[in-house]
Amino acid sequence: MYAGPFRNIFEAFSDLSITPEQVHMPIASLPLNEDLRLQDLYSYGILDSGKDREFDDLLEVAADICGCPIAAISFIDSERQWFKSKIGLADDFYETARSLSFCAHTILEKDVMIVNDARNDDRFFNHPFVESDPNVRFYAGAPIVSPTGYNLGSICVIDNKPRDLPATKARTLQIISRQVSKLLELRLKNKLLKQKAEEQLQLEKRLLQKTLQQHEEEKQSIGRELHENIAQGLAATKFYLEMAEGGNLDRTNLIRMSRQNIASLVNQVRELSQAISPSLLQQVELKDLLRGMLKAFSSRTAVETQLHYDGEAVVDASLALTIYRIVEEQLLNVQQHAHAKQVAIEIRVAASVHITICDDGIGIDMLNFKRGVGINKILSSAEHLNGTVKLSAGPKGGCELRVAIPATC
């Protein structure tokens, strides 16, 4: 092992400010598109990273096959050579000046760079690592090529004795360098997957918060409906009946007003119960329920609605509830975002159920569209029954939602 000599000599020349001119050495030229090469290198986040068993294992294989006591996997930064993995070098030695790096020459090559005897090579004969300990003689390095074609660094083997490297071993060194490239690519993919998973987690948290907020708003809306309309209507009816019982001369009119209030309250309770849970879907035709919903929506928003229903009116309760919720949710989206004046709903019930909802609102920018709580609820409802959802710009402006659900779900 050459840990001792290499440690001393590298400590002497690891100052990144040392230039080749100071030691009378030719400097390796910069690769073409050096800025892009560095940008590609930095994208992997490999520099100054910790030990990785996978890189160490590949380097051990390379050293054993080539029969060399020293080996390294290194990456060439703008001013330094940084060692990701090393054999025969001190444990606490991680970098040296790029100007002193053999591998800075390797990244200029397409194939394995072989130096049989550094004393006879114009680039290295007066290199400090050649002229003194550890007396480098043999060097072989294969460039580490990224998937985009940039030479990021090298895997190299070193000996202090002149020697040859058979073509089969040079080929093996190239194969190992490709495996290092695959490790880099895998590392980047894992990094991106983690980022995407974190982004998805944050999105789900935001969606959950919005859903909880929406549920709270729905409960408040139900509370207001119960208090402001139903409770007040009941109080008024009670007042009319008490007046009639008290011998008021206008008893007939008071009873008529009470009857009207009660009829109105019955309708309000029915609408409220259906909004909370349309549990009568098994007894009432879906088409009638949808018409009731659209009538209430138009009355509340002044948006004109049209319903075209084709096919069986009575469908499976679970499917009917899903259709009801999808239409209800999209109407809410239209109310909140579309600024529409008209909404057309078409429902066809056959082997599959097809729901089309078009509005004449401000439309949708699909390039910058981000799914919100409403669309996610529609998507979840449809996917629960193996359905599909497609959102696009409408044929005449506005937005078009298409949902297809198997009727046999």
pLDDT of residue 25: 65
pLDDT of residue 316: 75
Nearest to 108 by CA among 62, 142, 77: 142
> Which CATH homologous superfamily contains domain 278-409?
Histidine kinase-like ATPase, C-terminal domain (3.30.565.10)
Q: In what order do the strands lie in the sheet with 342-349?
A: 304-311, 342-349, 352-359, 399-406, 388-393
Domain boundaries, given as residue ranges, for the chain = 3-193, 278-409
Name, in order, each residue with C-beta under 8 angstroms of 156's C-beta and a sequence gap of 6 or more: 71, 72, 74, 102, 103, 106, 139, 140, 141, 142
- Say which residue, 69 or 381, is predicted with more confidence: 69
pLDDT of residue 6: 45
Which pTM was predicted?
0.52
Burial of 34 (0-12, 13-18, 19+ CB in 10 A): middle
What does the pLDDT average to over 195-209?
Answer: 77
Residue 189, pLDDT > 50, answer: yes
Structure confidence by residue, pLDDT tens digits, 258-308? 888 887 777 777 666 666 655 444 545 778 888 888 988 998 898 999 999
Q: At what angle do helices 373-384 and 167-224 cross, to 10 degrees?
A: 100
Say how far apart CA 135 and CA 163 lie, in whole Å: 14
- Say which residue, 226 or 112, is predicted with more confidence: 112
**If you ran DSSP here, which 8-state letter would residue 361 be given?**
S
- Say which residue, 279 or 138, is predicted with more confidence: 138
Cα separation of the two ends of the chain = 70
pLDDT of residue 409: 53
CB 290 within 8 A of CB 305: no
Q: What is the CATH number of domain 3-193?
A: 3.30.450.40
| CA triple 91-97-99, angle to 5 deg | 140
DSSP, collapsed to helix, strand or coil, labels residue 148 as coil
DSSP, collapsed to helix, strand or coil, labels residue 288 as helix
What does the pLDDT average to over 302-321?
Answer: 83
Name, in order, each residue with C-beta under 8 angstroms of 346's C-beta and a sequence gap of 6 or more: 307, 308, 309, 310, 354, 355, 356, 357
Strand pairing report for 113-115 and 80-87: unpaired
Residue with the two structure tokens 């993919």: 189
Q: Average per-residue pLDDT in the chain?
A: 83
Q: Where are the alpha helices (DSSP H) in 117-166?
A: 128-131
